[in-house]
Copies of this chain bind each other. A is one copy, B any other.
Amino acid sequence: MDIAARLLAENGPQALSTRRIAAEADSSTMTVYTHFGGMSGLVREMVREGFARLQERLTSVRATSDPVADMALLGRAYRFNALANPHLYAVMFGGSSLAGFSLSEEDRQHGRYTLGNVAECAERCLASGRFRPGDAILVAHQMWMAVHGLVTLELGGYLIPPYDADACVEEQLVGLMVSAGDAWEAATESVARSRERIDEI
């Protein structure tokens, strides 16, 4: 797993081959089959590893008395994790296009579980009265979708240069909080507060 993760991170998706892994591990291609049941099993395990890293990063965001700032920091953490592991992130969400690999329902369940941290934070935002009354999981979904879209386009290089993600992400976060019901000024302030907690993540 370590070797596979390193190969993926350093040399991209096409370096994930049984032979390269075997060469790096000074063994044969059979190791991949005895331990993972084949290439798709290894990819599956890589996806789990990717979600584990994401969850670890999200968990590093501690709850404070400003839940909206916590939520904004969760968004930043999500993006940071994706930028730190771009190839792994691509496999997690675009891996379906890899050789005959498709996620099982269990994998998706594991992926959705990662949303738990966000949902719990959304709960606190709703409880604080700053978000319009609604469903916490739905709010968490909207946060996920928006940040995921931002990150995907950023990694794909589709953001027009003067409006690159670094300049975009704060406005995106403020917009998210406003769309969830928060007031514009309060959201702006909370997002700014989250900026100063970047060292948390």
Nearest 3 Cβ contacts at the A-B interface = A149-B149, A94-B94, A175-B179
Is A157 a contact of B13 with CB atoms below 8 Å? no
Interface string of A152-188 (1 = CB under 8 A from B): 1100111110010000100110111011100000000
Shortest C-beta distance, A18 to chain B (Å), equals 16
Interface string of A60-79 (1 = CB under 8 A from B): 00000000000000000000
- 18 A-B pairs besides A90-B96, A103-B157, A179-B179 with CB distance below 8 A are A13-B96, A13-B97, A93-B94, A93-B156, A93-B158, A97-B98, A108-B157, A108-B158, A112-B160, A137-B163, A141-B159, A141-B168, A142-B175, A145-B149, A146-B149, A147-B149, A148-B152, A149-B152
Is B152 a contact of A14 with CB atoms below 8 Å? no
Alpha-carbon gap, A14 to B112, bound state (A): 27
| Residue of A137, A146, A178 with most chain B CB atoms under a 10 A cut-off | A146
Q: A95-B97, A97-B97 are in contact. Are A150 and B145 (CB under 8 A)?
A: yes
User: Which residues of chain B have C-beta atoms less than 8 A from A99's C-beta?
Assistant: 14
User: Which residues of chain B have C-beta atoms less than 8 A from A178's C-beta?
Assistant: 178-179
Alpha-carbon gap, A147 to B153, bound state (A): 11
Please list the residues of chain A having a beta carbon within 8 angstroms of any beta carbon in chain B. 13-14, 90-91, 93-100, 103, 108, 111-112, 115, 135, 137-138, 141-142, 144-150, 152-153, 156-160, 163, 168, 171-172, 174-176, 178-180
Alpha-carbon gap, A150 to B99, bound state (A): 25
User: Which residues of chain B have C-beta atoms less than 8 A from A137's C-beta?
Assistant: 160, 163
Residue of B at shortest CB range from A175? B179
User: Which residues of chain B have C-beta atoms less than 8 A from A111's C-beta?
Assistant: 158
Shortest C-beta distance, A143 to chain B (Å), equals 10
